[in-house]
Structure 1
Amino acid sequence: MPTRILPAVGDADAVRSLTTLLSQLPDAEPVAPVTDSTQLVDTLARLAAESVDELPEVVVVHERIGPVPALELIREVALRFPAVGVILVTSDAGPGLFQAAMDYGARGLVALPLHYEELASRVHAVAQWSAGVRRHLGAGADVFSGVGGTVVTVSGAKGGVGATLTAIQLALAAQASGRSTALLDMDLQTGDVAAFLDIQFRRSVVDLAAINDISPRVLADAVFRHDTGVALLLAPGDGERGEEVTDRAARHIVSALRSRYEVVVIDCGGQLTGASAAAVEMADTALLVTTPDVVAVRGAKRTVRMWDRLQIRKAEETTIVVNRHSRGAEIQPSLIQKITGTGIAATAIPANYKELQGAIDAGRVHELDGKGAVRQALWALAGELGLVKGTEGALQRRNGKARGGDRAALTFRRRKELGR
């Protein structure tokens, strides 16, 4: 069977050189090259969604790929697609980079300028490794067991619109349906997940910020296991420490959670930071919660435009959730959709603060009455998003398309615009 090889090369001259050599390898089947990190991850995610058998055995990553640095891209591919072998092509073939590449998940390293014999040897070895992994793990979805969970971010059009409550209830609904679920509080300065659940904690997301290789053991030590079964990774108690979680750290943390849980819900709050922007970029579904009033809708429109301007998320890839909805309101979901140019969740959350007040004041929002209109609507939203078992892909089917994988990391220009 031919070895399928996917080159990821940003430089036009390097593309020609690499594809020419790859086409000469025995039993090799080079596929159309991708030119940046975003396209690589999106392509692999699309192929994996069709069938594991559609994935290439080997991915060749050139050192000048961008915008995500080559080593970080290799880590992402290794985490999300563990049966795909990655080879790094680099001008620095020294022992230091070789060790770093192996630590990040590469299966081989080839020095520039390229030589046929070395490239053929590496591709052959990595292809054999990939075939062995697939035989060991089995066919079909079992290859990705524990890897590539669904990531949903919940952001607020402004403070106080109900993003935290929405994130918590989505996580509770997913966990209650039998899916392993993590809830990450990425509202780093003013996160309230712990207060809403009345819990005391010692560790927070900051404890993972400086760790490049987040092992399952390290991750388990950082999360708080709630009585409901949801794994909580909380914002720091001292808000100023939130600055320690950079966009790069956020990507590592989200990737680690995604590799261990079927569903990862992230509360991004109402302010954009480098870390929350990275989370929104990586999400399979990005929700933006607003209330049906002029100030909040204006904030939603401003957020959508900023995400698009900074190349974090396109408007059509964002889903608005309308909270505190009433039929008599002048501003209805259809108008909000028209104003923002986004998708709109079919499930609107009704206005009934009286139902929520006691649970919020007591920090027991996980004990909301199951017969209450707000709680029922939030759990229905979880079903619409495909977070509840048996409802996978519901939102994508309704919108007629799926997101298809992670976006690339923030570029230097966008980090600068965010004030990092």
Structure 2
Amino acid sequence: MTTRILPAVGDPDAARSVGSLLGRLPDAEPAAPVGDSTALVDTLARLAAESLDELPEVVLVHERIGPLPALELIRDVALRFPAVGVVLVTADTSPGLYSAAMDSGARGLVALPLTYEELAQRVQAAAGWAAGVRRHLGHGPEAGFGGTVVTVSGAKGGVGTTVTAIQLALASAASGRSVALVDLDLQGGDVASYLDVQFRRSIVDLAAIQDIGARVLADAVFNHESGVALLLAPAEGERAEEVSDRLVRQTLGALRQRYETVVVDCGTHVDTANAAAIEMADTTLLLTTPDVVTVRATKRMVRLWDRLQIRKAEETVTVVNRHRRGSEIQPPLVSKITATRVARSAIPANFRELQGAVDAGRMQDLEAKSTVKQAMWALAGELGLVKDGRPDTKQSGLFGGGRRHGRAK
């Protein structure tokens, strides 16, 4: 059986050395090296979108890869692409690093300077492990990759980020999918306020957990009456610094294995936590409004993400909120200015429809006839977050007649 190998090596000399040895391995099909962590994840995501069979059996991660540190990259790949065997290439062969690499999801470690025998042994072992996982998972375009992660960010404050994230989650749940909604607006998250929830636990409670499994998640999330599982921001904004990018990657990786849709409200600021979410998301939304100031802020945000190698402009979907047909700034112009793809589903400007639900903190009770809700649920369909292309708008409990639940303490 041919073993496909994808090296991730940033240093040109190291890349040539790795490529030379890989070319000597029997039944090996090494690909051209990718030079950084972003390119590796992008390549794997593109191949996974085609089919599980398109993914390489083995990924080699060099210790000096960047910008994401090697162990964090291994953890990300292991969580997102569990049918790929990852091998770390490093000069540090201490027991501590070996343990850390295994904890991150590596299937082996190869010492520098490389030797043919050790490289062949580790690649063969990782390839055998990957083959076994694929047999267990079966074959299919989505086999083994878990749910879809969608992040929702705002170009600036007040553009409707949280309301949009909530409605996307509600639409997905109404269609019959299992859904988690994560509030990563860590210093000022309002998901709980918009959904009439008081709950003491938040994502901060996962900070000290090394292995975030189903039981840990069950203790941390609030099961809302709408059917959406909520992982909330901390009530004390100063605790935001306890939420690291490592925690976010682990948490989202665990959530996507349990839920079909994971919607993440990233707020309007860029920090290490929501940057990690945006980087690992399947779809990234950026909310804007059709005015000069906000569109300029949108362009700045897109460029910031690109400079930080979080997300490329062409991989970002901009959503125009408070759209008016008579506005001088229309979606095609927003797309041209920001170099992003603009969603077909623009959200109309009609705050009066929202005001009652917003004031009551009951966004789940927004009426079905609301044009704003219809546009947001159409956006969920456009993004593939609902079964059969559309949510069930007749599902009980999502509109005005929903019963109130007691508040959890």
Query: Deviation at 1:125?
Result: 2.2
- Paired with 1:173 and 1:380, the residues of 2 have a C-alpha distance of 9
Aligned twin of 1:406: none
Query: Deviation at 1:256?
Result: 2.8
Deviations 1:246-271 (A, max 9, x none): 33433333333233322221112222
- Paired with 2:218 and 2:109, the residues of 1 have a C-alpha distance of 32
Name which of structure 1's ranges 336-345 and 90-99 shifts more when overlaid on structure 2. Answer: 336-345
Query: Deviation at 1:23?
Result: 2.1
Aligned twin of 1:42: 42
Q: TM-score, normalised by structure 2?
A: 0.89
Give the aligned residue type for 1:92: D
SS of residue in 2 equivalent to 1:311: coil
- Paired with 1:312 and 1:132, the residues of 2 have a C-alpha distance of 33
- Paired with 2:310 and 2:277, the residues of 1 have a C-alpha distance of 9
Counterpart among 248, 272, 282 of residue 274 in structure 1: 272
Map of 1:16-415 to 2, 5 A cutoff?
Answer: 16-141=16-141, 143-144=143-144, 147-391=145-389
Query: Deviation at 1:142?
Result: 6.2
- Paired with 1:282 and 1:302, the residues of 2 have a C-alpha distance of 21
Query: Deviation at 1:379?
Result: 0.3
Query: Deviation at 1:212?
Result: 4.3
The question of whether the paired residues in 2 share the 8 Å contact of 1:80 and 1:259 is answered with: no
Residues 122, 203 of structure 1: alpha-carbon distance in 2 compared, 3 angstrom cutoff: same
Aligned twin of 1:398: none
- Paired with 2:118 and 2:336, the residues of 1 have a C-alpha distance of 56
The question of whether the paired residues in 2 share the 8 Å contact of 1:186 and 1:275 is answered with: yes
The question of whether the paired residues in 1 share the 8 Å contact of 2:381 and 2:389 is answered with: yes
Give ranges in structure 2 of 5+ residues lacking alignment.
391-409
Deviations 1:209-256 (A, max 9, x none): 344432232222211111121111111111111122233433333333
Give the aligned residue type for 2:163: L
Query: Deviation at 1:341?
Result: 3.2
SS of residue in 2 equivalent to 1:140: coil
The question of whether the paired residues in 1 share the 8 Å contact of 2:191 and 2:232 is answered with: yes
- Paired with 1:218 and 1:299, the residues of 2 have a C-alpha distance of 38
Query: Deviation at 1:353?
Result: 1.8
SS of residue in 1 equivalent to 2:284: strand
Deviations 1:377-415 (A, max 9, x none): 1100111112112449xxxxxxxxxxxxxxxxxxxxxxx
Aligned-residue CA RMSD (Å): 2.1
- Paired with 1:20 and 1:246, the residues of 2 have a C-alpha distance of 38
SS of residue in 2 equivalent to 1:10: coil
Query: Deviation at 1:24?
Result: 2.0
- Give aligned pairs, total: 390
- Paired with 1:110 and 1:33, the residues of 2 have a C-alpha distance of 17
Query: Deviation at 1:190?
Result: 0.9
Aligned twin of 2:402: none
- What percent identity do the matched residue pairs reach? 73
Give ranges in structure 1 of 5+ residues lacking alignment.
393-420
The question of whether the paired residues in 1 share the 8 Å contact of 2:52 and 2:142 is answered with: no
Give the aligned residue type for 2:244: T
Give the aligned residue type for 1:209: A
Residues 375, 138 of structure 1: alpha-carbon distance in 2 compared, 3 angstrom cutoff: same
Name which of structure 1's ranges 361-370 and 285-294 shifts more when overlaid on structure 2. Answer: 285-294
- Paired with 2:290 and 2:328, the residues of 1 have a C-alpha distance of 8
- Paired with 2:85 and 2:282, the residues of 1 have a C-alpha distance of 24
